[in-house]
Structure 1
Amino acid sequence: MPEPTRDTVDDIVDALLRLIADPPAAGVRIREEVTALVERARKASRAVPGQELREYRHELKKMRLAADLMGEQVATEMGWCVSKVYRIEQGQVGVSVTDMRHLARLYGADEPTVTRLVAESRAGYRIGPRRGSTRTVTG
């Protein structure tokens, strides 16, 4: 049996906006509709914004392991805390173009691979400003 499709947060927001724009018929209570949507939201996919644009993360982990480097060694070389290495590999944070270039070279990537990873980094890093920020991240 195929696995049921999971809602995303965007799906839930769209449903709420439709509910506001076109309220249900007189017999249906909005509170019940909203409660049902909240339950869907609790089960929704919790993808990190921009994570789908950070597909390079899998390749970086493979490259690090192939280079026989531990996360601690990479963190020391890059001047980062070790958790940043693992957050990058999990797609939780983007990588600046400069950091990607240094990271790929540390892992022994050839220049065409460095160039491709830098381009992917630029796309994954440019996901828009954080909430409340007036600055746009442009990698």
Structure 2
Amino acid sequence: MEEYEACILGIQAAIERKMRILEVFGDSALVIYQLRGEWMTRDSKLIEYKDLSMNLIKEFEEIYFTYLHHEENQMVDALATLAAMFKADDQSRMMPIQMSIREMPTHCCNIEEEKKDGLAWYYDILQYVKYRAYPAEATEK
């Protein structure tokens, strides 16, 4: 039931934003295959959810349902982590989440390959790990 509710909320959000074409990704095989019409809905508790979903689907010119195995659905884990980080109420203004795919891991963009002294960026860390030696410019703080 929770999976259907999440799907319905997502579809309603897309309708409110006047989207005409939608691709729904989900890791619940039951929900995805029932909404595709490939599996029958026999559980009486789910019939109303499916019926509501099917009525909402009529709002779209095109809609696709794609099943993702849970281990392929990294977005679920990321969104769950974000959701756990803050509380939102009716007065909160939610800003959209913008995502992009990078050619290399983000941390690589934040690391300079060489410091001005010609040593690798991790040189000071390595010295501390090996010899418990701090850089000469280090202070007590």
TM range (shorter): under 0.3
Name which one, 1 or 2, has greater alpha-carbon Rg.
2
Structure with a larger share of its residues in helix: 1
TM-score, normalising length from structure 1?
0.21
